[in-house]
Amino acid sequence: MKLRLVKASNQYCDQIKDMLDEWNETGEKIIPYAIRRIDYHDFAYYCDNLEVKDTSCGLVPDSTFFCLDEERNNIVGAVNIRHYLNESLLLNGGHIGDGVRPSERRKGIATKMIALALDECKKLGIERVLMVCDKENVGSAKSIQNNGGILENEIEVDGIVEQRYWIELI
């Protein structure tokens, strides 16, 4: 499987909509939040507003990528990279949010997708990356650990135990 990260564009409109439609049909919460916060049915608006550029309301700038399986021309997941951490992201959120579409899970995609996201973090000059996942999401924890994630601690947020992992990039 040959994966690469791509930006949302008309070239990938059908594949991105297909992934988001599939996810919505399951009733699961789409992760990362960045790809669900705007209605994707107006795709031009979606692409233009997918990434945070205005930081005046306390948000941090971010970059959103979709993970393309080049061999099948299929979008299999997405990552959202926050360029730096504010207080909220330091506690719960981290630098990278990632999600694999339901039909593509348990195939090693998350591990590879995170590795690609870490390459993007290096380009942004991020030397130490925080990733957070629910303690019960064993698959997510393993994909973070497979990329060098070291568990710092566990915290409870809204009744859910979150694990906080750091990945050194230097």
pLDDT at 163 over 90: yes
Burial zone of 129 (CB within 10 Å; 0-12 exposed, 13-18 middle, 19+ buried)? buried
pLDDT at 95: 98
User: What is the residue range of 12's domain?
Assistant: 3-168
Confidence of residue 166 (pLDDT cuts 50, 70, 90): very high
- Give the closest residue to 166 by CA, choosing from 153, 155, 157: 153
pLDDT at 60: 95
Number of domains in the chain: 1
Q: Residue 34's CB: how many other CB atoms inside 10 A?
A: 21
Q: Which residue has the higher pLDDT, 147 or 58?
A: 147
The lowest-confidence range among 20-29, 33-42, 54-63 is 54-63
What CATH number is given to the structural domain containing 99? 3.40.630.30
- Counting residues of the chain whose pLDDT is more than 70, the rounded percentage is 100
pLDDT at 169: 96
Cα 137 to chain centroid, rounded:
15
DSSP for residue 91: H
Residue type for position 108: G
Convert 102-137 into a string of H (helix), E (strand) and C (coil).
HHHCCCCHHHHHHHHHHHHHHHCCCCEEEEEEECCC
Task: List strand residue ranges (DSSP E) for the chain, in order.
Answer: 3-6, 62-69, 74-82, 96-100, 128-134, 150-157, 160-168
Token couple for 7: 């930006």
Averaged confidence pLDDT in the chain = 96
pLDDT tens track for 56-113: 788 899 999 999 999 999 999 999 999 999 999 998 899 999 999 999 999 999 999 9
Dist CA 34 CA 38 (whole Å): 8
Mean predicted confidence (pLDDT) in 124-137: 96
